[in-house]
Structure 1
Amino acid sequence: MPEILDLTFFAFAIPAVIFAGISKGGFGSGAAFAATPLLALILEPGAAIGLMLPLLMLMDITALRPYWGKWDGLSAKALILGAAPGVLVGALLYRTANPDLFRLLIGLIAVGFVAFQLARARGWITPAAQPMGAKTGAFWGAIGGFTSFISHAGGPPAAVFLLSRRLDKTTFQATTVIVFWAINGMKFIPYFVLGIFTTQTALADLYLAPFGIIGIWIGVKLHHLMPERAFFGLTYLFLIATGSKLIFDALT
């Protein structure tokens, strides 16, 4: 963290936090991770993820109320149970893991999934009619738990599974809220033990917390105003944007 929380810091941090709140509050959390690489432009990567986790947890709690009980329990359970070992592996490998390789893989998966959905919609391919099952959901949950621990990038893996389940937009959104409330809670103690939190990140979080709540409020409002077709279209755009950003970060 910079010794002084100056105008440059807040010029980057405030838009990043508001954007993360909008994504978490209304659009399935798919693009919320983009706040971390934006902050990493001015902070060390460890400081960026340490700064964001308490804010993401605050956003999760804020978003629980408008979406309470509207999630798909089976989908949420599969992702959460799968995420637990993913978070554990992330904690064990945090000091030695190569995040760029994983950013590349998950970016390719996110962009590839959108390409798959578009090809299916145009009739170019005919996939199996059945949605992904619980075991597959646990697999994607494990990937999401690991990538979430390393860089808060668990949204795309979760979306790959949830979009296959053919949920309506509110069920989809509510499920991401409860899933990431659980995953981010799992990450707190390992982050503390690994020394990822600092006094400076805690101070910055106090200043930025209101902007996270504002972002959630905007996201919830946009979620209810936007038609379902447009919602999923925007979700796919977020997946392309986040996946492309991960690929770019990995290669550069």
Structure 2
Amino acid sequence: MISNLWFYFAAVPAVFFYGMGKGGVGGILGMLSVPLIAMTIPPLQAAAILLPLLCLMDVIALFYHRKNCNYRELKHMLPGAILGILVASFFIGSLPSAVVELLIGGLALLFLVQKLLPRKNANNLPAKGHFLTLLSGFASTIAHAGGPPATMHLLPKKLPKQQYIGTSVVFFASLNFLKLIPYAYLGELNTSNLEASLVLLPIAFLGVRTGVWLVNILSQEMIYKISYIVLFLTGMKMLVAGLISTL
């Protein structure tokens, strides 16, 4: 069991906000969780403690949102994401976090710039389709940071609010359960980490329930606005952190 008090000061809000994302509100808030917890423990251990919680949160979120998933879109997203998990499995624990931050942060901001350009120019920009889902699977495995690429893939589809949320929930639930394999192989799902996960479980449940409640009272326009705002903030955060780490 982790006895470092600072770990819990960081982990409680991190898990709560991740739970809110799983409930359907601002899912990419979750990508801040690993960096926040990693201020107190090694990044790989932080990701390993979060992973069982993510799987349990996914089960709760699936109960509420699975029926709204666009399974046709999901079928196109999963192959690239699974390939991304396989590639990341060879780098997990060794790839500099700055590289991941620069790549994801840069792409997130590129996507937002694309939204501001005239349509004919925006369509000429790269980073679409299978590449985005592959990047989502890769970043999700390395640091549970697959939200921005998946958001970049889904937002242009203009899915109805419930479909957008349901597809995101089922997509990341699939990824998280697959990620248990490389984390178990590395020995990170050990007794100490699992005990820490168990202590944080009530916070995860509370976060998901809060997210589900907010989804039911927010409009579709507001959900998309939140997604864009959080994408910008997390993109800036990751880009700046990556640049600082490389200097």
TM-score (norm 2): 0.91
Equivalent positions of 1:1-252 (< 5 A) are 4-27=2-25, 29-117=27-115, 119-120=116-117, 125-127=118-120, 136-252=128-244
Cα distance change, pair 217–50 in 1 and its aligned pair in 2 (3 A): same
Distance 1:105 1:138 in 2: 16
Residue segments in structure 1 that go unaligned for 5+ positions in a row: 131-135
Unaligned 5+ segments in structure 2 are: none
Aligned residue pairs, count: 241
Counterpart secondary structure, 2:236: helix
- Deviation at residue 128 of structure 1 after TM alignment: 8.1
Greater Cα offset, 56-65 or 26-35: 26-35
Structure 2: how far apart are the matches of 1:45 and 1:5?
Answer: 17
Deviations 1:215-240 (A, max 9, x none): 00000111111111111111101101
- Residues 75, 137 of structure 1: 8 Å contact kept: no
Separation in 1 of the partners of 2:2 and 2:159? 45
CA distance in 2, matches of 1:100, 1:128: 30
Q: CA deviation at 1:28?
A: 5.3
Q: Identity across aligned pairs (percent)?
A: 34
Q: What SS class does the counterpart of residue 69 from structure 1 fall into? A: helix
In structure 2, what is the Cα distance between the partners aligned to 1:225 and 1:95?
40
Q: CA RMSD in A?
A: 1.9
Q: TM-score, normalised by structure 1?
A: 0.90
